[in-house]
Amino acid sequence: MKFKKFAHKALALVLATVVATSAAACGKQADTQSEAGKTVDAAATAWKENALQMPQEGDHFRTYYEVFVYSYCDSDGDGIGDINGLRSKLDYIQDMGYTGIWLMPVMPSPSYHKYDTTDYLNIDSAYGTLDDFKAFLADCHERNIEVIIDFVMNHSSSEHPWFKEAYKYMQSLGKDEEPDASKCPYVDYYNFTKSQEGGYSEVSGTDWYYEAQFWYGMPDLNWDSEAVKNEFKDIAKFWLDLGVDGFRLDAVIYFYFGNHEKSIEVLKWFNDYVKSVKPSAYIVCEGWTDQNTYAKYYDSGVDSMFDFAFADQGGVIAKVLKGTAPAGSYGAMSEKAQELYASHNENAIDAPFYTNHDMARSAGFYPGDLGEARVKMAQALNLLMTGNVFVYYGEELGMKGSGKDENKRAPMYWSKDANAQGMCKGPQGMDSFEMKFDSYEEQSKADDSIYNYVKSAILLRNQNEIIRKGKVQNLSDLSTDYVDVIKKTYNDEEIVILLNVAEEAQTVDATSLNINGKTVENAEVAGELLTGDETVTIEKNTITLPAFSILVLK
């Protein structure tokens, strides 16, 4: 059968209903209309009318939005994004279809990025107040949007009162005197030693050093210390009591630098504690290392580890779109990841993401005229993954940003007018550069924009619990260098995702494909994500996928 679109909108809508309800009838209708010589495809948008299957409370298979508050939306005109600004954009966030927000650090900090905390029990004054935060949380929960906060327990700021006390005390010691925690309890919070190793900084004026793996301004906390554990119990409880839905844990492989086993023990202790306070809380961790190693962190019982194998320029998604890995490696890796994580924790929820605040943005990955199509497809490949998927703010607009970290955290591109309401000034030291694609103002009005494409991909995810939760089977017999075919199964239902990452149309002989007991021509179109004017056609069991397109059948 062939899906055709009609120039006449009302007629297209009628057909859309027919397509959604009866594939056989659709074939008839379409043939009739194709004789009328019309172009393009009604089914390409008919699926958008399908019912939503939104996640319920406590269900963490969601679509999360990673937000850098500093650069998102400014409510008071100081050029720095804030909680109230973000709160004013909840209509936008909900309309996009996001069902969760990960806030990059919001606690007081001397840095713009705020990964070095000076007070774990407050909101940075540039961002607002605890009351602002509570109001924001309430609004999110009203909209079925979960909120998790970045939780940086590997290190504090060197400006944190704990460290300042400890440092001052260490400087006061006599030449051969050893530190005594009964005199200054905070010396026990950090790792002081007389042997200088890599990742250690000196206590000025002494022969002591302290561990600071990232930077001297970020002293590593001592996880052997019961006092530190007790502090972080109180801190976690404080935020859970306030109503946050969980935490994004920063740098978990650094808890014990170079010792994964002991780092996992800390993680297990923390996860057990958090779940004892709030059983429905969600924990996702950053363990930026190889896949087999971060998979082991699932032993701790945490819900999710960020799935770095799919992310960044060297990840599976970008490789498939650059043509440096066959399309089938996407499905094969998805299947492998699922098995690997389940072998450590049967309740593991994969946390796929494509880019984040530490990585160059996708707009720069793909040069040439086809860059936009590849940016779109890459977003879809991320959003179609099973698990709890994360999207970095601005990626839905194809924002640009690479090189120094500041560039990767540029102001959300609401408008080309830097003085438009809500626009932020961005981190100090950010290079001045032009965006590659339009701002939200233009993209929201263009049907074929990256923004509208990503929104469609999220809609598809919100319509199909099976896309979020299905067990992945890569149909390698049907996959080629350019085409990947994946089946997902959940509650005895099946869905099939076919994708073409080639610059030309690709034909798939899907005779062997069976979807919920149906052949391809009798299957229902659950969604189509297109990047050009060409549409998908299905004739008998042959599917033709246009360049850079995705078809989902159920």
Residues lying near Ca ion in the complex (CB under 5 A): 74, 76, 78, 80, 82
Quick check: helix, strand or coil at residue 122? Answer: coil
- Separation between Cα atoms, residue 32 and residue 419, nearest integer Å: 53
Residue with Cβ nearer Ca ion (78 or 539):
78
CB of 82 to Ca ion, least distance (A): 4
Residue with Cβ nearer Ca ion (237 or 425):
425
249-278 residues labelled b (16+ CB within 10 A) or e (exposed): bbbbbbbbbeebeebbbbbeebbeebbeeb
CB of 125 to Ca ion, least distance (A): 10
Residue with Cβ nearer Ca ion (78 or 95):
78
- Separation between Cα atoms, residue 527 and residue 43, nearest integer Å: 8
CB of 132 to Ca ion, least distance (A): 11
Residue with Cβ nearer Ca ion (80 or 203):
80
370: Cα separation from own chain's centroid = 24
Residue with Cβ nearer Ca ion (76 or 441):
76
CB of 79 to Ca ion, least distance (A): 7
- Separation between Cα atoms, residue 83 and residue 130, nearest integer Å: 10
Residues 378/550, Cβ–Cβ less than 8 Å: no
Residue with Cβ nearer Ca ion (77 or 517):
77
Residue with Cβ nearer Ca ion (82 or 528):
82
- Separation between Cα atoms, residue 60 and residue 386, nearest integer Å: 11
Residue with Cβ nearer Ca ion (71 or 225):
71
Non-local CB neighbours of 462 within 8 Å, separated by 6+ positions: 52, 53, 54, 63, 97, 99
CB of 101 to Ca ion, least distance (A): 18
Helix 23-35 × helix 9-21 angle, to 10°: 150
Residues 284/148, Cβ–Cβ less than 8 Å: yes
Residues 533/541, Cβ–Cβ less than 8 Å: no
CB of 114 to Ca ion, least distance (A): 14
What amino acid is encoded at 202 in this protein? E
- Separation between Cα atoms, residue 235 and residue 318, nearest integer Å: 38
Residue with Cβ nearer Ca ion (76 or 539):
76
- Separation between Cα atoms, residue 3 and residue 537, nearest integer Å: 6
Q: In what order do the strands lie in the sheet with 542-545?
A: 506-509, 542-545, 537-539
CB of 75 to Ca ion, least distance (A): 6
CB of 112 to Ca ion, least distance (A): 13
- Separation between Cα atoms, residue 30 and residue 14, nearest integer Å: 12
CB of 392 to Ca ion, least distance (A): 21
